[in-house]
């Protein structure tokens, strides 16, 4: 396992006081471990889990050439460009009830969707396109081509090919695909366990009596929700006061039970921010040399301060206290790192928040030199183009802005002011969170 200093050395121009947002992802990718433990689960239990091995298909899917329509199967080489084709119906085939006789020249087979196409029959004309007189059909010229309406053996998955790769997140389609291969179980990585707590003397748990200067803890609810959306097992360690001894025991308890730790608050320069001193102390007392903690000021808004490191071998993500900053830093940095710890491929469609480009329907002030994540609503204009507007107040404590938004407008580091109609990038989180 590389030390934090070694990881920092791989980042060009690493400056903990002005770290570019992209460098944070690179750092975290170097810091978090990959999963090792796996389990075999029945498919129905494997939704949202990450596949731990490539799946080589043991069969062809579909297993035989079959009809894509209810109609008549025949030898397509008999079709002519300008004359109708007349064929005698020799029998019928249904899905699960194949035709066992012979089909001679000038004959066809009445066939239903999914029924096996016998050898020599390569074309199906849908039944609504033919004229039937007694025991014969007539196919007008030009309505079908040879090979139409046929599904080929193995056209979905070939026997021996890789049907799904290690690191795929098993969504409903992947579960169905595994089932179509006849595989009752999937070997997936063990569920990740993440412990989290909020810090601050002013933070009330739900049920506490309100008191002057205190606020209810919202961060534990957003963090728990975001972790649950990823299928992570949550360990809720509550609210911890700004007290070095209590913080130390919370960190040790978290590290003993969890694969990763997420905290909020206490990482800025405020006087009561004991988290920093505590993390440093814990990191130093670690004898294996794997622990360590770095404090960053990230060139971003919201979410400037962040602490990252390891308590022993357990990665720690110390997020800012402000509720919107918690969600933004989680989405931008923690979520990709946790998916990596879960074994997911970085490009898996379930892992990536979709990025869209849309026209800004308003002018936005933006200083170059930091990445901004504005809470935004993407919608369509009357002519169908994508447009995006920001959700009013953008303060890092205004959690209602996150509730209204369906994405984050990402204004990159070097970007200056945005004019009405400029194209901007939006990271969509609707459907992800």
To the nearest whole angstrom, how small is the minimum distance from the Cβ of residue 264 to Mg ion? 9
The dihedral region occupied by 265, where left means phi > 0, alpha psi between -120 and 50, and beta the remainder, is left
Residue 326 CB, shortest distance to ligand AMP, in Å, is 8
What's the min distance (Å) between Cβ of 272 and ligand AMP? 8
Q: Which residue's CB is nearer to ligand AMP, number 169 or number 240?
A: 240
**Residue 60 binding target from ligand AMP, Mg ion, none, CB below 5 to 8 Å by type:** none
- Residue 68 contacts by C-beta under 8 Å, 6 or more apart in sequence? 113, 124, 149, 150, 151
Which of left, alpha, beta for 392 (phi over 0: left; psi -120 to 50: alpha)?
Answer: left
Q: How many residues bind ligand AMP (CB under 6 A)?
A: 17
In the complex with Mg ion, the residue whose CB is nearer, 321 or 407, is 321
Enumerate long-range contacts of 396-403, CB under 8 Å, 24 or more apart. Answer: 396/301, 396/302, 396/303, 396/320, 396/322, 396/323, 396/324, 396/325, 397/322, 397/323, 397/324, 398/324, 399/218, 399/222, 399/323, 399/324, 399/327, 401/324, 401/375, 402/222, 402/323, 402/324, 402/327, 402/375
Q: Is 268 in the site for ligand AMP (CB under 6 A)?
A: yes
Work out which of 76, 167, 200, 305 binds Mg ion, going by CB under 5 A.
Answer: 200
Q: Does 71 bind Mg ion (CB under 5 A)?
A: no
Query: For residues 248-277, which are near Mg ion according to CB under 5 A?
Result: 265-266
Q: Is 320 in the site for ligand AMP (CB under 6 A)?
A: yes
CB of 340 to ligand AMP, least distance (A): 26
Q: Is 270 in the site for ligand AMP (CB under 6 A)?
A: yes
Q: Which of 70, 122, 202, 290 binds ligand AMP (CB under 6 A)?
A: 202
Least distance (Å) from Mg ion to the CB of residue 258? 22
Give which of ligand AMP, Mg ion, none residue 219 binds (C-beta under 5 to 8 Å, depending on kind).
Answer: ligand AMP
Report if residue 401 touches ligand AMP, rule: CB under 6 A. Answer: no
Task: Provide CB contacts within 8 A for 300, sequence distance 6+.
Answer: 21, 328, 332, 370, 371, 372, 373
Among 35, 71, 200, 318, binds ligand AMP (CB under 6 A): 200
Which of the listed partners (Mg ion, ligand AMP, none) does 67 bind, with a CB threshold of 5 to 8 Å by partner kind?
Answer: none
Which neighbouring-strand residues pair with 377? 389
Query: How far apart are the C-alpha atoms of 43 and 218, rounded to whole Å?
Result: 35
Judged by CB under 6 A, the stretch of 69-77, 150-158, 318-326, 402-410 that binds ligand AMP is 318-326
C-alpha dist (Å) from residue 284 to 15, 58, 288, 290, 293: 22, 52, 10, 10, 9
Stretch that binds ligand AMP, among 147-155, 315-323, 336-344, 359-367 (CB under 6 A): 315-323
3-state helix, strand, coil in the chain (%, to 5): 20, 30, 45
CB closer to ligand AMP out of 167 and 309: 309
Distance CA 320, CA 199 (A): 10
> What mask of x and - would describe binding to ligand AMP in positions 203 to 242, judged by CB under 6 A?
x-----------x-xxx-----------------------
Q: Which is nearer to Mg ion, 271 or 383 (CB)?
A: 271
Cα(28)–Cα(10) distance, rounded to whole angstroms?
12
Judged by CB under 5 A, which stretch of 8-16, 39-47, 222-230, 313-321 contacts Mg ion? Answer: 313-321
- The residue (of 149 and 329) whose beta carbon lies closer to ligand AMP is 329
Q: Are strands 136-139 and 85-93 parallel, antiparallel or unpaired?
A: antiparallel
DSSP one-letter string for 185-228: EEEEEPPPEEEEEEE-TTEEPTTSPP-TT-EE--HHHHHHHHHH
3-class SS of residue 237: strand
Residue 35 contacts Mg ion per CB under 5 A: no
Give least dist CB 255 to ligand AMP, A: 20
Q: What is the DSSP string of 276-306?
A: HHHHHHHHHT-TTS--EEEEEEBSEES--EE
Tell me which of 107, 322, 345, 391 binds ligand AMP, using CB under 6 A: 322
| Least CB distance to ligand AMP at residue 323 (A) | 5
Give contact residues for ligand AMP (rule: CB under 6 A): 198, 200, 202-203, 215, 217-219, 264-266, 268, 270, 320-323
Give contact residues for Mg ion (rule: CB under 5 A): 200, 265-266, 321
């Amino acid at each position: 396992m590389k030390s934090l200093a070694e990881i920092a050395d791989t980042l060009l121009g690493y400056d903990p006081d002005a770290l570019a947002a992209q460098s944070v992802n690179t750092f975290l990718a170097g810091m978090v471990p990959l999963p090792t433990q796996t389990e075999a689960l029945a498919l129905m239990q494997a939704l949202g889990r990450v596949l731990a091995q490539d799946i080589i298909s043991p069969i062809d899917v579909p297993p035989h050439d079959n009809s894509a329509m209810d109609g008549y199967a025949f030898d397509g080489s008999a079709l002519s460009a300008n004359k109708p084709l007349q064929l005698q119906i020799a029998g019928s085939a249904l899905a699960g009830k194949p035709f066992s006789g012979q089909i001679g020249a000038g004959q066809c087979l009445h066939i239903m969707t999914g029924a096996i196409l016998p050898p020599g029959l390569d074309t199906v004309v849908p039944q609504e396109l033919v004229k039937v007189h007694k025991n014969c059909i007539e196919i007008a010229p030009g309505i079908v081509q040879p090979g139409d309406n046929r599904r080929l053996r193995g056209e979905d998955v070939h026997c021996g090919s890789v049907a799904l790769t290690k690191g795929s997140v098993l969504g409903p389609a992947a579960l169905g695909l595994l089932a179509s291969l006849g595989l009752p179980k999937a070997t997936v990585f063990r569920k990740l366990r993440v412990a989290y707590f909020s810090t601050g003397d002013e933070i009330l748990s739900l049920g506490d009596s309100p008191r002057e200067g205190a606020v209810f803890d919202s961060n534990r609810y957003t963090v728990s929700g975001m972790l649950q959306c990823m299928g992570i097992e949550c360990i809720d360690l509550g609210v911890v006061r700004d007290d070095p001894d209590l913080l130390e025991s919370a960190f040790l308890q978290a590290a003993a039970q969890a694969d990763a730790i997420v905290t909020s608050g206490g990482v800025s320069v405020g006087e009561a921010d004991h988290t920093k001193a505590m993390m440093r102390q814990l990191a130093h007392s670690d004898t294996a040399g794997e622990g360590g903690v770095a404090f960053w000021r990230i060139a971003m808004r919201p979410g400037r301060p962040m602490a990252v490191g390891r308590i022993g071998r357990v990665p720690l993500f110390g997020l800012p206290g402000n509720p919107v900053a918690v969600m933004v830093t989680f989405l931008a940095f923690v979520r990709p790192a946790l998916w990596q710890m879960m074994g997911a491929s970085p490009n898996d469609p379930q892992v990536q928040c979709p990025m869209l480009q849309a026209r800004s329907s308003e002018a936005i002030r933006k200083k170059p030199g930091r990445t901004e994540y504005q809470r935004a609503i993407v919608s369509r204009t009357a002519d169908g183009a994508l447009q995006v507007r920001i959700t009013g107040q953008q303060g890092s404590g205004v959690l209602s802005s996150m509730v209204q938004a369906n994405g984050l407008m990402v204004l990159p580091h070097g970007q200056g002011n945005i004019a009405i109609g400029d194209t901007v990038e939006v990271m969509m989180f609707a459907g992800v969170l």
